[in-house]
Structure 1
Amino acid sequence: MTTLEARSPDLDALADTYDEQGFVLVKGLLTKEEAAEYRRRSHELLAGLKREDDPTWGSAAEAAMGQMTSLQHLHDAQFYDAAFTRLLTDPRFTDVAAAVLRTPNVQLHHTKMFVKPPENGSPFPPHQDHPFFPHENHKVAAAIFHFDDAPDAKGCVRIAPGSHREGPREHDPEGSYHLPDFPQDQLVPQEAEAGDVLFFTYLTVHSSGVNVSDEARTTWLVQFRDPEDTLIGDQHTHSLGQGLILAGTDPTGRAHTR
């Protein structure tokens, strides 16, 4: 089982699933109305800030078989709209985050908003998040909030169940860190509805397809960790608000972003 209802009283069962499979899709963590409001706010933010940079990976062209694709994004939405700040500390989210980390303490690493435009929204090739910000104990995870429906035609996230158990993998540094030889048949589409949240470890191999539908796909990625885990090196230390405690406390007392 890799799908659980939001606010499940058995968070231990959810954490067991996460440990075994490397991910869990929580249905209906947000209501449809809440998701629609966050979708509206997301698109208004992107339009108002007039972001023209495109974060599509260089290796995405290969995944899209050479066709031109595009992607809209925004780092640190919580610094532009208080609704996202509130969502970061919403117990519906932090209870699950704490459960999968198996600690009462949850610390923010960074956030990214992604909008895949209709018809040619950029894919992401198979990869782990680990190479971008490796930690000593690997207690780092992601949550993808779906603000609208994400069927496979919209380029939903694809997960390789159990792939986290092999630990860090060697990624190709050309263009972007990805796994060009990873078997595509091991990646399972995680179709989601508005309000669903997908949690997965930073060791889980994942990808996403091209949005070939006639509607945008809108998501918010939150990367979080156990504050007692330690970053290796100095990668990805620039995100605004990194180190913010979302639940519990920081037992280390470190007043920095590493």
Structure 2
Amino acid sequence: MTAIASPDLDQLAADYQRDGFVKVSGLLTPEEAAAYRRTSHELLQRLEQAADPTWGSASTVSMGRATSLQHLHDAQFYDAAFSRLLTDPRFTGVAAAVLGTPNVQLHHTKLFVKPPENGSPFPLHQDHPFFPHTDNRVAAAIFHFDDAPEEKGCVRVVPGSHLAGPREHDPDGGFHLNDVPFEEAVPQPAKAGDVLFFSCLTVHGSGVNISNEARTTWLVQFRDPADPPLTDAHSHSLGQGMMLAGIDPTGHRR
């Protein structure tokens, strides 16, 4: 198994505070990422998850077919491999560093597979309006289980966009931004095993997968347990409130 050097957590935290995101190269080994890719695809096939979460505003035609997407909430409740990853110190160490607290609490997870040739894009948006919190100490980590070059519809971010705070999103409930050109978002191509961390206020999205291979990622949303939610959004997510590192100083599960 390939050895991966430990990241400089102080530097990652500083970069995150400045840019609103940070990509950690090789947080998982290539062998681990490949195993999770197999597990992800086998899980989706076993559960026959047919729901397509493509946003209406993102539905388009690529390579002669409508775009599509496969996804699964709460993969850790179907396969223990994902449970182990949630509490892996390599992940929780970075999560704690970017939040600025040793206490890291789970909000929810989603497994995504962008099919080849027509994998759906995501319009530019912030995560904040989906599950707003009082102090916005909420972040996401996208685990890449296979390579995600630009042609696979890799994640794009607008550096520094978190500093402007919550933005006005589509008034019709689409939760996408109408006033930020897609070209302003910088592509973040990744290798299998890389993990992209970003704030709930960071403007981000992704393009269409026009390659001949699937793009497989796992999204983990996490937060500082001391940051109270403003709504009960995503309260249906299994395991919400699970402590991934540290303690819950509030003394109750939310």
- Using the size of structure 1 for normalisation, the TM-score is 0.94
Match of 2:183 in 1: 185
Q: Distance in 2 between matches of 1:6 and 1:175?
A: 43
Matches within 5 A, 1:17-56: 17-56=15-54
Residues 60 and 66 in structure 2, CA contact (< 8 A), matched pair in contact too: no
The equivalent position to 1:223 in structure 2, one of 221, 224, 227, is 221
Query: Which residue in 2 is equivalent to 1:76?
Result: 74
Distance 1:119 1:185 in 2: 21
Q: Which amino acid aligns with 2:186?
A: V
Please give the per-residue CA displacement for 1:66-85, whole angstroms capped at 9, x wherever unaligned.
Answer: 96100000000000000000
Following superposition, the deviation at residue 62 of structure 1 comes to 6.0
Larger mean CA deviation between 230-239 and 212-221 belongs to: 230-239
Tell me if the contact between 1:120 and 1:210 (Cα under 8 Å) persists in the aligned partners: yes
Contact 2:61-2:118 within 8 A present in 1 as well: no
Q: What whole-Å deviation, never above 9, does each CA across 1:183-221 have from its counterpart, x for those lacking one?
A: 222100000000000000000000100000000000000
**Partner secondary structure for residue 66 of structure 2:** coil
Matched with 2:166 is 168
Tell me how far apart the structure 1 counterparts of residues 146 and 152 of structure 2 sit (CA, whole Å).
10
**Does residue 96 in structure 1 map to residue 116 in structure 2?**
no
Q: Which amino acid aligns with 2:6?
A: R
Are the equivalent residues in 2 in contact too, given 1:123–1:211 (CA < 8 A)? yes
- Rounded Cα–Cα distance in structure 2 between residues aligned with 1:161 and 1:6: 26
Q: Distance in 1 between matches of 2:247 and 2:124?
A: 34
Equivalent residues, number: 251
Give, in whole Å, the separation in 1 of the partners of 2:164 and 2:61.
Answer: 24
For residues 221-254 of structure 1, what are the alpha-carbon distances to aligned partners after superposition, in whole Å with 9 as ceiling and x for unaligned?
0000000000002222110000000000001101
Name the counterpart of 1:210.
208
Of residues 141, 144, 149, the one that matches 1:143 is 141
Q: Distance in 2 between matches of 1:79 and 1:117?
A: 23
- 1:74–1:114 CA contact under 8 A, matched in 2: yes
Q: 2:167 & 2:248 partners in 1: Cα distance?
A: 29
SS of 1:15's equivalent? Answer: helix
Q: 1:180: how far off?
A: 2.3
| Partner Cα separation in structure 2 for residue 141 and residue 58 of structure 1 | 25
Overall identity of the aligned pairs, in %: 72
Matched, 1:57 2:62: no
Structure 2 CA distance, aligned partners of 1:45 and 1:89? 20
**CA distance 1:20–1:63, shift in 2 (3 Å):** farther
| 2:6 paired residue number | 7
Instruction: Give the letter for the 1:49 counterpart.
Output: L
Moved more, 203-212 or 226-235: 226-235
> Does the 8 Å contact 1:58/1:175 carry over to 2?
no
Output the TM-score relative to the length of structure 2.
Answer: 0.95
Q: SS of the counterpart of 1:59? A: helix
Is the Cα contact below 8 Å between 1:39 and 1:148 reproduced in 2?
yes
Shift of 1:13: 1.2
- 1:142 offset after TM fit, Å? 0.1
Deviation at 1:7, TM superposition (A): 1.9
Q: Classify 1:69/1:169 alpha carbon distance in 2 versus 1 (closer, same or farther; 3 Å).
A: same
Moved more, 233-242 or 186-195: 233-242
Q: 1:6 to 1:114 in 2, by over 3 A?
A: farther
Separation of aligned partners in 2, 1:135 and 1:6: 34
Q: Check the 8 A contact 1:63/1:123 in 2, yes or no.
A: no
